[in-house]
Structure 1
Amino acid sequence: MAGRLGRVGPYALLERLGRGGMGEVYLAVGRRSDRVAVKMLRDPIENDPDARLRLEREVRALRRVESPYVAQVLDADLSGDRPYLVMEYIEGENLLDAVRRRGPLPESRLIALAQGLASALAIIHAAGVVHRDVKPANVLLGEDGPVLIDFGIAQVLDATRVTMTGTFLGTPGYCAPEVFADETVGEPADVHGWAATVAFAATGRPTFGRGTAQSQMYAVLNGKADLVGVPAALLPLVRAALHRDPARRPTAALLADRLSRLARAGRGVLPRAG
């Protein structure tokens, strides 16, 4: 089958699904006509060794995680002229687009989202992976629950960091304060991103404002989160997860457990089991 946009390896490219700072993601079909998502490094950075290393990290991170809340790696070729990885294709829009189009999620869906995303983080943390870029654009709303995508700047805890001192990769309004303070960035940073993402889904507003990157960084560092409109049932968990001190934030596993209890109490509908 010929793709409208050409081929990469045995995969025929049908349409571009998204484009980020490091790569482009395409809907494609393989030899058996199965639909997949193909992520390739963008031209001209395919010859950038750091970009190649980040793609390799993404493959390594995803292969360490088995969860219905995380897209599965199906194939990869990291040595060719245009390195790529192939993931299962999840049909559904991302949380950022969904909220922009239809407004904040109702409370039952919000609790299901929060629980599913916390479960995803608990699973990847147990596998020794830190995502480091949890934000609405990286959460797909699949038929069976949220799916966390784009591990392009994930850190495998037993690996050397790619980024250098004084630099950061990520989205300012969803980064944890320790990222900007050049402190150790670990699992609690993902929990902070979880809280900012859930608050956005609850309110329809960026949790740390719509201003410049510098103003968002200031708001993050000083704990100036906009939580007006977050349901009372979720507010204590969101506030705790946004604590300035990473050591005082709840773990993702604890959040998932608390939210599972909340859902069972009848305030939400659980997504598929993790």
Structure 2
Amino acid sequence: MTATLTATRTPSASTRTFTRPSLARLTGVELRKMADTRAGLWLMVITALVSVAVVVIQLFAAHPADQTFKNLFQSTMFPTAILLPVLGILSVTSEWSQRTALTTFALTPQRQRIAGAKVLAAVVLGVLAVLPGLVFAAIGNAIAGGMDSAAGSWSFSAMLLGYAVLFSVINVLFGIGFGMLFMNSAVAIVLYFVVPTVWSLLTGLISGLKSTSEWLDLSVTSTPLFDDAALSGGEWAKLAASVGLWVLLPTVLGLTRLLRREVS
């Protein structure tokens, strides 16, 4: 009696097929990484608390006629614009300071895809960052209307909301660009606060630089985004020029450095 044995062969490592993660999945991972760290989580909490504090201050200090949904919402955008770019910086620099770059780029060797996912995650974060401001402003406006009949106007346009989203996205991408360029948390955060401030002071003190600030000072060119009027062609051109200097240029230089830096 003979028995026939059939051996089942498992595919060898060389014959297995691997599918690389989609850009959408990488973007989701980068978004989760922004909130997974203690620094990122607390930064989001502090940003929300500061926005609430700004609304509360407006309720007690502002004139009732100025206590409107639009004004309360716009006031919440300033702490968001200042603090959330730091989260964008940390999302890039933490790969090197916490030595996770080796794992990240081993799982996805195409570094440009990781960089693209970080940029897309920053855009999503910038859009989502507007939502808490809307909620806080709505609550504050309802309270203001109950306290004084002269307050509580709900007048608000879709154009202002779009401008607020654009303002938020630009600032978060500002942080991403600085993070890619310097790849060091302390250096990037300090320079993010210092360099634009020094530039604004110089353009304000030196009369010869005043015309330059109208084109290359992001704090000046983004101001029309808070006006209840459509931007003119000249205002869009000035905003594009300042975004090119403070957002696009650091991102391009940082991406070049990211693609060439040795991972260790």
The structure with higher relative contact order (CA 8 Å, sep 6+) is: 2
Bigger radius of gyration: 2
TM-based fold match above 0.5: no
Q: If each structure's strand is expressed as a fraction of its own residues, which one has the higher value? A: 1
TM-score (norm 2): 0.27
